[in-house]
Chain A
Amino acid sequence: MTSISSASRSTVIKDGLNAGWPICLGYLPIGMAFGVLAQKAGLSAIQIGLMSILVFAGSAQFIAVAMLAAGASAPAIITTTFVVNLRHVLMSSALAVYLRAAHRGVLALFAYGVTDESFAVNLPRFHAHTWNLPRAMVVNHAANLVWFFSTVTGGIGGRFIPEGALGIDYALIAMFICLLVFQLRKRIHLLTALIAGLSAVGLALVIPGNSYIVIASIIAATTGVIIQRSRPGSNPKNG
């Protein structure tokens, strides 16, 4: 850990960018697509940029713009945003385990950049003890910068990247596939992932919105813990 914490500023930035570039790549087409949609919904580039800075939540922004275009009220949009982003509670809770010594002001800044993508990139590195808060901050804020610029660019000039070019639309899915593989360390993780995936699909087909993510994750992790703790002779510390 000492070599990690005593590294120079440029090493920290380099490590963070090395870890975070797939997020940035994946945000480009999505951010531009968002910008184009937001512009069509009547938002100016400044309004788009402000939303990307103040909210910074991909799916919630898409939904908010669709609701704005449909003439929804502000309380309705804010409530929907809250529900859509509630899943971050689970991610921040899982990250908190590795951030016990962290300064609370720095944590407050770090929290701003907790997204599905940065969580998935940072958490396995924290778990492997190859990571620290400054590097994780670089990942979060590089992703935020790319998100900001690609949404504004989309809002100003439409898509600069032609539709489907080089399979760039698959960048984030491929990243999630690999990060899921990293999580499958033991049979219990595989089992938990299977339960989560299948119940997410089942729930997504019957309930509207994206609450299936939180519900399926809670069902799967709870089942996983029950299985682990009921297995005789198991060592939960290594679970």
Chain B
Amino acid sequence: MADYLLLLVGMGLVTYLPRWLPLHYLSRQSLPEWFVQWLELIPAAILSALLLPALIIGGDTGRLDLLRPELWVALPTFAFAWWTRSLGGTVVVGMLLFWLAEKVDPQWLAWVG
């Protein structure tokens, strides 16, 4: 247990420092304009970089897979989010569509594609 606690403290530190140091230092500095512009684009970039691979790369295979329900459900979910701009609504609609898509045999998509 002592070894395990030491491991957790180590993991905790290397997780906490990247979260804390920028908040601690950058919130007091006056940042150059290009850097503020850069930070302003970071959310769109990060969200897209997190999302797209999760949609089109198979979790088990690590390969490109355009037949995943995650991808096909994302299209109507995206449209719903675009028109309604409702976070709660999008989460519920996305879950519902994904639940329905999981009930459908994914094989038929191969025929369409």
Interface of A toward B, CB cutoff 8 Å: 21-22, 25-26, 47, 50-51, 54-57, 60, 64, 74, 77-79, 81-82, 85-97, 99-100, 102, 104, 107-108, 110-112, 114, 116, 119-121, 123-124, 164, 166-171, 173-184, 188-190, 192-201, 204-205, 212-213, 216-218, 220-222, 224-225, 228-229, 236-237, 239
Contacts and interface: CB of A to CB of B under 8 A. Distances in A.
Contacts of B88: 21-22
B47 A193 contact: yes
Main secondary structure of the interface of A (DSSP, over half): helix
Contact of B90 (A85, A175, A184): A175
A96 B62 CA distance: 34
Contact of A196 (B16, B45, B96, B99): B45
Interface of B: 1, 3-12, 14-16, 18-28, 31, 33-34, 36-57, 62-64, 70, 73-74, 77-78, 81-82, 85-88, 90-91, 93-100, 102
B18 A92 contact: yes
Contacts of A198: 52
Contacts of A183: 43-44, 47
A54 B46 contact: no
Contacts, number: 282
A96 B46 contact: no
A212 B51 CA distance: 12
Nearest to B51: A176
Nearest to B70: A173
A86 B77 CA distance: 29
